[in-house]
Amino acid sequence: MPLFEVETDSHIIITWAKDSDDASSVVTEAYPTDTVLRLTKRPRDTWVISKGALGLSGELDPCHTARDCLSKSEGDKVHAIRLYMHETGVDLEQARKVVESNMVMGW
């Protein structure tokens, strides 16, 4: 059974499911008020990251910006963190959390 990564407006959920419809159902049952933003097939075990716990809430799309910074830095984490801080104005700790969480997601 494949593993799916489902990003919502509040969570990133990685869960086993038969197909993308089943993966969406898992999210709907667990977090009925969340809206699915992205759904991707992934390897490994099931886990969930609360975006609020990482300080990733607000109008800015931190995932898109962090992935863009990682791409520009060619995967160099320190450079990506500096770029993220420059583009968003956040402090070092918040930039580190956002960039590292996106590295785990396979930017």
Confirm whether 76 is domain-assigned: yes
- If asked whether residues 99 and 66 sit together in one domain, one would say yes
- pLDDT tens digits for 16-27? 899 999 999 998
d(CA 106, CA 11): 16
Residue percentage of the chain with pLDDT more than 90: 32
- If asked whether residues 8 and 40 sit together in one domain, one would say yes
- If asked whether residues 38 and 76 sit together in one domain, one would say no
At CA 57, angle to CA 22 and CA 106, rounded to 5?
55
Q: Does the pLDDT of residue 11 top 60, yes or no?
A: yes
For position 57, what pLDDT does the model report? 64
Confirm whether 57 is domain-assigned: no
d(CA 39, CA 37): 7
- Full domain range(s) for residue 69: 62-104
Provide the edge-to-edge strand list for the sheet that holds 11-16: 36-42, 3-8, 11-16, 47-50
d(CA 10, CA 53): 10
- If asked whether residues 78 and 45 sit together in one domain, one would say no
- pLDDT tens digits for 49-82? 666 666 666 665 667 888 889 889 987 899 999 9
Confirm whether 85 is domain-assigned: yes
For position 46, what pLDDT does the model report? 54
For position 58, what pLDDT does the model report? 62
For position 34, what pLDDT does the model report? 92
For position 91, what pLDDT does the model report? 93
Q: From the centroid of its chain, how far is CA 45?
A: 16
The domain total for the chain is 2
- If asked whether residues 34 and 71 sit together in one domain, one would say no
Tell me the sheet residues that pair with 56: none
Confirm whether 56 is domain-assigned: no
> Does residue 6 contact residue 24 with C-beta atoms inside 8 Å?
yes
Give the mean pLDDT of the chain.
83
